[in-house]
Amino acid sequence: MLIRRLRRLLGQTPPPIVSVVRLSGIIGGVGGFRPGLTIAATAPLLERAFAPRDQVAVALIINSPGGSPVQSALIGGRIRALADEKKLPVIAFVEDVAASGGYWLACAADEIVADASSVVGSIGVVSRGFGFPEALRRLGIERRVHTSGTNKNMLDPFQPERAEDVERLKSLQEEVHESFKDWVRRRRGPKLTVPEAELFTGEFWTGTRGLTLGLVDRLGDARTVLRERYGTDVKIRMVGQRRSLVQRLGGGESRIAGLPGSADLGAGIAAGLLAAAEERALWQRYGL
């Protein structure tokens, strides 16, 4: 900042600044020692990205297959609030994938730039799980669950699936899906080139196809586009997450005061392996 002031005093024009925030990974709490994109984790990064007074734009580097719709909405809403407050344009650059919640985040930008082979879209809602009622019976295990409330044990994976439970779940999904569609309409409405019935099915496309559908604005990469728009001397200001020593060593927030014990570490590793498997399955849905 001092150098920029000196340049102005000398009559020189300092190079334009663009702050860049990387939003990469599953959206929401992943579990174990594996961090996910949450409003708690990203809010400080976004505040720092929008803080400089003399910058010309904020860029988002997005690489996410989605996750929690709530966290997607909270992060996207915070981006828009800061952009409006600071009156700064926001450009989203899609790397491998911005699908489902990842595309929700991309829509928070004023412009979306994707690689030709990026994956974009997946405007839908999904709920995944397993059913184990036969496994318990074969193992001779009796499961005892006591509830207060007739629907408290809805969609229990250890009991046969009930049609009325699935109907309730689909009703909830429709509400979340409608919120997703409303967000895309507000952010991309005039740019969409095909009927909504073709876009809001949960299908995903390459960046090239996304361009023709109006899901993205152009093809390219961050360095090329920023230099083209703001000059070859544009200064890229990377905004990264500050992590404690314990976090860098693999510990979670709850163990900042000390290193994890063996029991906690074992439980954390088990949870981390399960979370990793679920995360991997989500990425593989998009061929990654």
Place of tokens 């163990």: 255
* Active-site pick, 19, 68, 72, 100: 100
User: Which residue out of 24, 117, 127, 152 is catalytically annotated?
Assistant: 152
Whether 152 is a known active-site residue: answer: yes
Closest by Cα among 60, 56, 172 to 125: 172
DSSP for the chain, written as a single string: -HHHHHHHHTTPPPPPEEEEEEEES-BS--BTTB--B-HHHHHHHHHHHH--TT--EEEEEEEE--B-HHHHHHHHHHHHHHHHHHT--EEEEEEEEEETHHHHHHTTSSEEEE-TT-EEE--S--------HHHHHHHTPPP----SSTTTTTT-TTS---HHHHHHHHHHHHHHHHHHHHHHHHHHGGG--S-HHHHTTS-EEEHHHHHHHTSSSEE--HHHHHHHHH-TTPEEEEE-----HHHHTT--GGGTTSPPPHHHHHHHHHHHHHHHHHHHHHHHTTT-
Tell me how far apart the alpha carbons of residues 185 and 196 are, in angstroms, rounded to a whole number.
Answer: 9
Q: Which residues are catalytic?
A: 100, 152
